[in-house]
Amino acid sequence: MSSSSSSSFRSPAGAAATLFSSDQKIRLGRLDVLRSSHSAFLGRRNPRGVVSVHPSSSPSPIQAVSSPSKPEAATKRSKVEIIKEKSNFIRYPLNEELLTEAPNVNESAVQLIKFHGSYQQYNREERGGRSYSFMLRTKNPSGKVPNQLYLTMDDLADEFGIGTLRLTTRQTFQLHGVLKQNLKTVMSSIIRNMGSTLGACGDLNRNVLAPAAPYVKKDYLFAQETADNIAALLSPQSGFYYDMWVDGEQFMTAEPPEVVKARNDNSHGTNFVDSPEPIYGTQFLPRKFKVAVTVPTDNSVDLLTNDIGVVVVSDENGEPQGFNLYVGGGMGRTHRMESTFARLAEPLGYVPKEDILYAVKAIVVTQREHGRRDDRKYSRMKYLVSSWGIEKFKDVVEQYYGKKFEPSRDLPEWEFKSYLGWHEQGDGAWFCGLHVDSGRVGGIMKKTLREVIEKYKIDVRITPNQNIVLCDIKTEWKRPITTVLAQAGLLQPEFVDPLNQTAMACPAFPLCPLAITEAERGIPSILKRVRAMFEKVGLEYDESVVIRVTGCPNGCARPYMAELGLVGDGPNSYQVWLGGTPNQTQIARSFMDKVKVHDLEKVFEPLFYHWKVDRQTKESFGEFTTRMGFEKLKELIDTYKGGPQ
């Protein structure tokens, strides 16, 4: 497998870890919190940027997070860090803002409600004032949605939302259009019906991905169990979520003892002692944190785009033995700032299966302690890994882990698996994967899905490609279910355009505050135009290109892994990215800026034509564009006279 560090931004180097034998106080800005012994830390910085340690007979305050590169800014923190510090573990002032008559909440509460799984939005196309609403995102490890929760979300979308549900690229629901006055009703309904939105947004671990296929196979079941355990390990413990939405009533299910043991273990100085948040403390993480778990060959989860990628390794009898770990992936970047970049995760090593929670915790704590908190553009863990290099990063993680990582085990090639269509689960039942354009469930599709899921009492799963899987279907149900779904436009994969099957788009306009141009609303037309270009240049119907569209450079639909990525860079304008691969193991590169949506044919058609006539055997479009090189591709565009009609 290839890995890449892309661009070469350098954040300030972290200090070598130092061991102390007595409890130390760590200063997080103005807040002193008691830390256990044996904690790696950053010392004070002298004017030349060299870290120095000042021993003292009494405990001295130590900066617990990476300092900015400029000495004079040594205590600088982003405003979000200060909001978190003053919030009483993500409560204040959100608790007060929710009680006001205003339709919105203030800036501090906007930041805090993210940790509860919600973003404040307004319709950017309405004139004459802002009509505020809230988007809620659920937390569904492995994309698992119990029957009761699906029916609840379907009801809430109609009663309190905009009448649609959206399946996300991280296997969750998004519910748009909830008014502030209805937030508590909606949140409590989700919680009381086997769901949660806790940590679906904010500076902490987000939803943990795993293959959505409900195969009754040892490795798949173990991957999904591991995803559940990692999600539980890294879930906030201080109760702010339940205090806010169900008046402190607890709805948490019993955790496996190995999760509780790993969370409470402090033998290597990972925990905040006597804190309601033993892993996160008052400041949580510097930015969002993403984890995916999978099995060999199955890259349905876009493994290398995550902060941590976890791969089950089994013996020759199919018994899971441990995990390969990958670190430092991430998609977000900023236009015209080359110091920000998308990045693939790279191999860290192998751990035996009984150690996985301790290893994941050690990686999280390394980011907590050393990730940048001064400038949120550089706060993701990918910048720490890129700055330090993988060997230094591994050394620091190993101090929190308490062991050396073993060499990564060899794995077969990755494949993208969509799980569309009918498949045997392995227990006598079937599952059915259904393609949903851009994950938007509405209209007759929504009504019909509801009827089928309710009638047959089906549990569902959401895929990382914005599709839905119906689980545990008896053989005698297959024909009636297939018929009723097809009548609602939910077709078997042989009747869905191959371009649509792998395409993704983020919501963008009208509700996303970051959108620069269209994505979800624009991609249907773009895909139809690409299909017309395919036909014009003589490409077969079953030939396809992975196309992903986002309305801004944050990369929610992971466009930087696409063979052809479109990233909004102006009104009706896109930056074109080329060079990803169909199995999502190679990162794309920026090919052309400011391509107007009406000019896409001028760029795409020559590329498709020359892919058809100049490609090597079984060479994908992404591989072709990489082999040809961008200078040659631009020359082909400039000299193109039109392909066969």
Q: Which of 170, 180, 290, 373 is catalytic?
A: 290
Q: Which residues contact 187 (CB under 8 A, 6 or more apart)?
A: 116, 136, 197, 244, 245, 246
**Which entry of 287, 556, 558, 612 is annotated as an active-site residue?**
556
Residues 590 and 342 sit within 8 Å (Cβ to Cβ): no
Q: What is the DSSP string of 28-72?
A: ETTEEEEE-SS-----EE-TTS-EE----SS---EE-SBPPSSGG
201: annotated active-site residue: no
DSSP single-letter state for residue 247: T
Among 1, 197, 180, 13, residue whose Cα is nearest residue 96 = 180
Q: How far apart, in whole angstroms, are the C-alpha atoms of residue 606 and residue 536?
A: 11
Give me the residues paired with residue 596 across strands.
Answer: 573
CA–CA gap between residue 305 and residue 4 (Å, rounded)? 11
Q: Is the dihedral of CA 80, 81, 84, 85 positive or negative?
A: negative
Tokens linked to 411:
């794995």
Q: Considering 170, 552, 558, 612, which one is annotated as catalytic?
A: 552
Among 77, 91, 114, 206, the active-site one is 206
Annotated catalytic residue 206:
yes
Among 506, 548, 558, 612, which one carries the catalytic annotation? 506
Angstrom distance (rounded) from CA 619 to CA 147: 42
Q: Is 512 known to be catalytic? A: yes
User: Which of 35, 144, 287, 288 does the annotation list as catalytic?
Assistant: 288
CA distance 226 to 443: 36
Dihedral in degrees, nearest 10, Cα atoms 490, 540, 637, 614: 140
Residue 576 main-chain phi, psi, to 5 deg: -100, 125
What does DSSP say about strands 291-294 and 308-314: parallel, antiparallel, or unpaired? parallel
Looking at 84, 137, 372, 558, which residue is catalytic?
137
Token duo for residue 362 = 């050690």
Closest CA to 68 of 94, 49, 81: 49
User: Residues with catalytic annotation?
Assistant: 137, 206, 288, 290, 506, 512, 552, 556
